[in-house]
Structure 1
Amino acid sequence: MLESWRWFGPDDPVTLSDARQAGAHGVVTALHHIYDGRIWTPGDIAERMALVGKAGMTWAVCESIPVNSAIKRRDGDWRRTLDAWKQSLANLGKGGVPVVCYNFMPVVDWTRTNLLYPTEAGGFALRFDMIDFVAYDVFVLKRRAAEDSYAPDVIEAARQRLAQKSDDEILTLERNIIAGLPGGEDSHTREKIRAEIASFDDVSSGDMRANLVEFLKEVVPVAAENGVRLAIHPDDPPFSLFGLPRVVSTADDIQTILDAVDEPANGITLCSGSYGSRTGNDVTGMAERFAARIHFAHLRNVSKEPDGSFIESEHLAGDVNIVSLISILRAEERRREREGRSDSIIPMRPDHGHLLIDDQKKKVNPGYSCIGRLKGLAELRGVIAAVDQLT
């Protein structure tokens, strides 16, 4: 597997030199400073490629070209923004970027309620607390008809939870949920997120799925023509937030996506943490079922709770059997190699990491500190070596 590292560009407090010292050879990055629907030009892409190359690594995956809300709703100026997306995709392929990871989540990207949840070992983890989220949605944001999205006992638990929070704690919760996490398309104010959510009021899950299929019909041929493998990222968490439809959450969703445009360029990002945070998802079973179309892997772990809450655990702890998962991915790589496929090596990255040691005194992007990811990558590297030794 190609050991890779997410890098948010020249302003990332974790440098390319740090990534290289951690043992990464591939870089997962994007033109995060161009997020407003403008086309990523060949010059922009070449500049980023040169920075990565100078550090002794390769730009292995673009994560991500933002998919504008107009495309997801298929309204407004969706045609213009989609054409720009396709041109950026083509330019990435021509510029030598082989994989593009993207997502189709409406309004909010990956979402957590606590960015500094203390671990037993003294580090800090990312956490999604369902009761805190409901408290914010129903009693702080006061989304229209929010109560219809939750059971009465959950709403009552949320009411009691909110009553125990100070004003500062409520503001921190709000920032965590709507201010935007690294790699997300946008950040929001309370008023803006209400309006954005309302703009999807007439978009059902069926509509959202149909819009995704229409998107795929347009972008997959562009990817194939330009030597790019598309890898859709799952919803994170993989269930509805704010009553919004999320349609990349289960094995059935993946099957729909792959069947919609049955081409090798149309593939998935196997994110063990995202898929693993939904009860009922068998992540290793999904990896076996869709192995041939896994173009990128995010390897991390989660520990789920009965109410839908979860904490990002250590990479080799939690509910997902990472050893079995890596065994499946390595077997798929060997199969591709026997077939002579050019994509026999699957890029992976240690997706997120705990905030540890000296990084606790530094300004870092939530989930993307250096030491926690270095630890995760080292553990994953060890698993890969052990799997290969025993195969």
Structure 2
Amino acid sequence: MLESWRWYGPYDNIALSEVRHTGASGIVTALHEVPYGDVWTRDAIADRRQEIERAGLKWVMVESLPIHERIKRDDGDLSQLFANYRQSMANLAEQGVNAICYNFMPLLDWTRTDLTAPTRYGGTCLRFEATRMAAFEIHMLEREEAAEDYPADVLEGAKAWFEASGEEERNTLLASIMSGLPGAFDRYDIAGLRKALALYDGIGREQLRVHYKRFLEEVVPAAEDLGVRLCVHPDDPPRDILGLPRIVSNADDIAWIMGAVDSRANGLTLCSGSLGANPANDVPAIARQFGDRIHFAHLRNVAKDADGSFEEAEHLDGDTDMVDLVRALLEEEARRKQEGRADSNIVFRPDHGHEMLMDAERQNPPGYPLIGRMKGLAELRGVIRALA
């Protein structure tokens, strides 16, 4: 397996020279400064690739080449947006970057209610607290149907939290949830979020699938011609959020996607944390079921609560059997090598990590500390070495 590291380019306080200290050889990054829907130019891609290579590393995966919200909503004439996406893929392929992670989550890329939940040994982690999410949806956002999405005990806890909270606590909750918005700059207040959500009125699960299939039909044939592998990232968390449907949450969803355009270029990012937040998902079994189409793996763990809450666990100590998951990926690698496939080595990265020691001083993007991720990578490296 090929060790990689997510790096946010000019927005990252971790230098490429420090990434080399982790032992990872591959970089996972994107042109985060380019507005969604615009073409990634050859020159901008070449500059980023050369910057990475000067540090002795290789750009092995794009994360992400984002999909414009208008495509997700099937809003108006999308021909230019699809053309721009195909051109960006072509420009990446020309520079030797031929694997692209993306997601099809409406509006929010991921959702957490706490960015600094305490861990057992003194660090902090990301957490999704069901009662706080319900408090936000029902009492702050005042979404009319929100109460239908939560059990009675969570509704009771949400009301209690809201009544006991002050302006500072509510603002912190809003900021935590808004941290999952894609892009470097856009953030909403309550009124702005209501307007953004209103654009999705009338778009349910089946309609969003129709929009997603159109996207796949527009871009996968071009990816095949270019030798590019696309790999969708599962929903995070794997449940409807803010009344928005989620359609990449379990094995049935993944099977539908793989069949919508049946091509190896239409692949999967196996994110053990996102899938692992759904109690019904057996993540190692999903890895074995869709092994042929896994082009990228995010390896992290979560610990779940009965009410739907979860938090980022240590990489080897959450609810997912990480050793069995790694075994499944190594088995798939061996199968590919027997077939002589060029993509026999699966790219993975340690996903998220606890903030520990000096991490908090670095003010990196939530979930992406230096020391916490390096600890996770070392643990995963040990599992891989032992199994291999």
In structure 2, the residue corresponding to 1:209 is in which secondary structure? Answer: helix
After the TM superposition, which of the residue ranges 7-16 and 340-349 deviates more from structure 2?
7-16
Using the alignment, how far apart are the partners of 1:183 and 1:375 within structure 2?
27
Separation in structure 2 between the aligned mates of residue 188 and residue 194 of structure 1, nearest angstrom: 9
Shift of 1:322: 0.6
Residue 136 of structure 1: aligned partner: 136
Which digits, 9 at most, give the CA deviation of each residue in 1:206-257, with x for residues without a partner?
0001111111111111111111111100000010001111000010000000
| 1:182 CA drift (Å) | 7.3
Q: After TM superposition, give the deviation of residue 77 of structure 1 in Å.
A: 4.3
SS at structure 2 position matched to 1:115: strand
Say if 2:373 is the partner of 1:351: no
Alpha-carbon distance in structure 1 between the residues aligned to 2:99 and 2:270: 13
Q: What is aligned with 1:105?
A: 105
1:153 and 1:360 mapped to 2: Cα distance?
34
Q: CA offset at residue 201 of structure 1?
A: 1.2
Alpha-carbon shift at residue 152 of structure 1 (Å):
4.1
Q: Which runs of 5+ in 2 are unaligned?
A: none
Distance change >3 Å, CA 73–CA 332, structure 1 → 2 = same
Question: What RMSD, in angstroms, separates the aligned Cα atoms of the two structures?
Answer: 1.4
**Match of residue 340 from structure 1:** 340
Farther-moved stretch of structure 1 (232-241 vs 6-15): 6-15
Query: Could you say which residue in structure 2 is the equivalent of 1:85?
Result: 85
The residue identity in structure 2 corresponding to 1:65 is L
Structure 2 distance, partners of 1:126, 1:315, is 13
Cα offsets for 1:332-372 (capped at 9, x unmatched): 11111111100001100000100000112332211111000
State the match for 1:327 in structure 2.
327
For residue 295 of structure 2, what is the aligned residue in structure 1? 295
CA contact (8 A) 1:128 1:310 kept: yes
Aligned to 1:39: 39
1:324: Cα distance to partner?
A: 0.5
Greater shift after overlay, 296-305 or 205-214? 205-214
How far did residue 154 of structure 1 move? 2.6
User: Structure 1 stretch 81-90 or stretch 201-210: which is displaced more?
Assistant: 81-90
Percent of residue pairs identical: 49
The 1:184/1:147 distance shift into structure 2, 3 A limit, reads farther
For 2:158 and 2:315, locate their aligned partners in 1 and report how far apart those are by CA, in whole Å. 30
- Structure 1 pair 179–374 and aligned structure 2 pair: CA distance change class (3 A): closer
The one-letter code matched in structure 2 to 1:96 is: G
Structure 2 vs 1, CA of residues 184 and 326 (structure 1 numbering), >3 Å: closer, same or farther? farther
Q: Tell me the residue number matched to 1:158.
A: 158
TM-score normalised to the size of structure 2?
0.97
2:130 is aligned with 1:127: no
Is structure 2 residue 259 aligned with structure 1 residue 259?
Answer: yes
Superposition TM-score, scaled by structure 1 size? 0.96
Question: Which aligned pairs between 1:219-258 and structure 2 lie closer than 5 A?
Answer: 219-258=219-258
Q: Provide the C-alpha distance between the structure 2 equivalents of 1:218 and 1:324, rounded to a whole number of angstroms.
A: 36
Contact kept in structure 1, 2:248 and 2:254, CA below 8 Å:
yes
Q: Which residue of 2 aligns with 1:187?
A: 187
**CA offsets 1:11-31 (integer angstroms, 9 cap, x no match):** 300111111110010000000
Which secondary structure does the structure 2 equivalent of 1:357 belong to?
coil
- Asked whether the equivalents of residues 182 and 365 of structure 1 are also in contact (C-alpha less than 8 Å), the reply is no
Q: Within 1, Cα distance between the matches of 2:351 and 2:181?
A: 14
Contact residue 132 and residue 158 of structure 2 kept, 8 A: yes
How is 1:350-369 mapped onto 2 (pairs within 5 angstroms)?
A: 350-369=350-369
Determine the C-alpha separation between the residues in 2 that align with 1:50 and 1:268.
27
Q: 284-293 or 68-77: which moved more?
A: 68-77
Structure 2: how far apart are the matches of 1:77 and 1:185?
26
Q: Is the 8 A contact 1:302 1:311 kept in 2?
A: yes
Query: What is the rounded CA distance, in whole Å, between the counterparts of 1:386 and 1:187 in structure 2?
Result: 44
Matched, 1:116 2:116: yes
Query: Alpha-carbon deviation of 1:36?
Result: 3.0
* Matching of residues 168-179 of structure 1 within 5 Å: 168-179=168-179
Tell whether the 8 Å contact from 1:64 to 1:102 is kept in structure 2 after alignment.
yes
Local SS of the residue matching 2:126: strand
Look up the equivalent residue of 1:216 and give its one-letter code: L
Match of 1:10 in 2: 10
Deviation per CA, 1:272-321: give whole Å up to 9, x if none. Answer: 00000011001010001000100000000000111110010000011001
Distance 1:127 1:306, change over 3 A: same
| CA–CA separation in structure 2 for the residues paired with 1:185 and 1:234 | 23
Give, in angstroms, the shift of residue 156 of structure 1: 2.4
How far apart are the structure 1 equivalents of 2:18 and 2:183?
19
